[in-house]
Amino acid sequence: MYRKVLVAYNGTPGSRCALREAIRIVSDASVEVHLAGVVSHPAEFLAGGQDGGPGVVFSGESARKEMEEYLREGHKFLVDHGLNITDHLLIGEPVDVLSELVSKLGIDLLIVGYPRGTPIVLRWWRGSVGKWLIERIPCSILVAGSA
């Protein structure tokens, strides 16, 4: 059983799947559930015109406000399903800040969403985020897919 779960959320269909997986996995109130959103602007994603991957929106005050709203939405959804949630608004390169949070909190499981059906060119831009998450995150990772 997982004791500490972190869910990356950014309001996308893939990240909504991650929320639903958290509800399925978390069996009781003793499990710590953390919800994270990342505000970032890595150049490689801006060049591709695509979002930055799991739980990420671009930087700037409007992006920060947008992520705060997504976190409120995700928080409410999880609380409405009986979970106790701690929110984290992270600013920086997604893999770095998620990895730091996982280590700092002693997370056992990271849940991220993945949008199936994304054109292959756009997947290529995101590929490095997924690869680096796997390489750098020191816990189990569940990838929740959306259609």
Q: Which amino acid is at 107?
A: I
**pLDDT average, residue stretch 100-106:** 97
Q: Are strands 4-8 and 32-40 parallel, antiparallel or unpaired?
A: parallel
pLDDT for 100: 95
**Which one-letter DSSP state was computed for residue 81?**
T
CB 57 within 8 A of CB 28: no
Cross-strand partners of 38: 56, 90
Q: Which domains does the chain have, with CATH numbers?
A: 4-146 (3.40.50.620)
pLDDT for 57: 52
pLDDT for 61: 79
pLDDT for 59: 54
pLDDT for 93: 84
How much is the pTM? 0.80
Helix (H) / strand (E) containing 124: helix 120-136
Cross-strand partners of 5: 33, 109
